[in-house]
Amino acid sequence: MFDTHKHPTPVPILRKSFPFHVPNKRCMDYMLLTNVGEPKDYDKACQTTSASKWELAMKEEMKSLISNQTWEPAKLPIRTNELHNKWVYREKDDNDGTKRYKSRLVVKGFQQKKEVDYT
C-alpha cells in the first residue's frame, strides 16, 4: 500500500505579481470622514427620515438647472440611445454646525457609444 504520510502531495506556492495595496493613514481618515451614510440613490433618499430635506434639495437643483438654461427638451435623433441620469446626495456641514442637504443630477455619459450616439 501507498503511505501518504511519508510522501505528501506538494502544494505549489503562489506569488502575487504586485504587492497588496494598503491605503495610507491620510487616505483612511478621508474615507472615514466621507462615508457618512448618504443615500446611494433616489429610492434610498425617499426612505430616510430626512426624505423631505432631500426632496427640497432636489427641487433646488432642478430650479438651478432650469434658471441656468443648462438643458432644453429636444427630439432624440433616429437610432440614438437616451442617456440615463442619477441623483447624487451629499450632507454638507456649515460653519455654524448645521447640516445642508445637497443633491446633483448627473448624466451617465459612459453609456454613449462612439459613431452611434456621437461622432
Q: Locate the domains of the chain by residue range.
A: 38-111
Q: What angle do CA 101, 108, 112 make, to 5 degrees?
A: 165
Given its phi and psi angles, is residue 43 left (phi above 0), alpha (psi -120 to 50 degrees) or beta?
Answer: alpha
pLDDT value at position 89?
Answer: 93
pTM metric for this prediction: 0.59
CA–CA dist 86, 108 (Å, integer): 7
pLDDT digits (tens, 9 = 90+) for 12-69: 666 656 566 666 666 555 554 444 578 888 888 888 888 999 999 999 999 999 999 9
pLDDT digits (tens, 9 = 90+) for 84-115: 889 999 998 888 888 899 999 988 877 777 77
Q: Which residues, other chains included, contact 103 with Cβ-Cβ below 8 Å and sequence gap of 6+? A: 45, 54, 57, 58, 60, 61, 87, 88, 89, 90
SS3 88: strand
